[in-house]
Amino acid sequence: MEPLEFLTEGQVYEVLLVTRSNVTPVGVVRKGNRLFFKLFGGRSAEELKEHPYASIQVTNDAELLVKLGLNLPVSLEFAEGNRFRWVKGLPGFYGMVDIREEPYEDDLGKTTVLACSLEPGGIIEGMLPPKPFSRADCALVEMAVDLTRLIVAVKAGKREPSLKLGRRIEENYSLYLRFGGGSKTAERIVAWSRELLERIL
């Protein structure tokens, strides 16, 4: 079995990136037999510069992805072997990471990103519970991604982009509630977003 055969080329998939001592959600895109992703700073980027080996693992737990992205506490068990570490029980693969620093510009300004790619060198065995994704899950993930951008936008004093992100978080929160979502994490995201926006208004 080809490790990446289930990933449609060109689509962004949200997965877990496990480095030497960190785990973070990351959006990956498959091209051929490699996965490409970008890190906008953070601990994982620093760790990959020192030790370019990582595991990429799949979860269908939106709360887990979101909590890890916002550095909220989660309980996970890890295992490790020669150069690699991974979350016990989740399927995925490991490999050496090719890294390159690149200039990057968007409406939040100019920055440097770590452009990474990984070709699976081995498979991590695991099993996911039979839990389909829900529309509430999708809305929650959107809220969390926008919040991580809002944190950067507010820090950089970018008023218009901040307001736009804040509006989108509110819209996705309405959808989240309409789709039956009701987690504390979603409430925390909206509260956090409102607090950040007060600073820039």
Ligand X SMILES: Cc1cc2nc3c(=O)[nH]c(=O)nc-3n(C[C@H](O)[C@H](O)[C@H](O)COP(=O)(O)O)c2cc1C
Residues that bind ligand X (CB under 6 A): 14, 22, 24-27, 37-40, 42-44, 65-66, 69, 71, 141, 144-145, 148
Cβ-proximal residue to ligand X, closest one: 69
Q: Would you say 1 or 110 has its CB closer to ligand X?
A: 110
d(C-alpha 28, C-alpha 82), whole Å:
24
Q: Would you say 13 or 179 has its CB closer to ligand X?
A: 13
Shortest distance, CB of residue 10 to ligand X, whole angstroms? 16
Shortest distance, CB of residue 163 to ligand X, whole angstroms? 20
Shortest distance, CB of residue 39 to ligand X, whole angstroms? 4
Q: Would you say 25 or 181 has its CB closer to ligand X?
A: 25
Shortest distance, CB of residue 1 to ligand X, whole angstroms? 26
Q: Would you say 2 or 60 has its CB closer to ligand X?
A: 60
Q: Alpha helices, DSSP H only, in 14-158?
A: 43-50, 62-69, 135-155
Half-sphere exposure of 133 (CA within 13 A, CB side): 15
The residues, any chain, with a CB within 8 Å of residue 24's CB and separated by 6 or more, are: 16, 17, 42, 43, 44, 68, 69
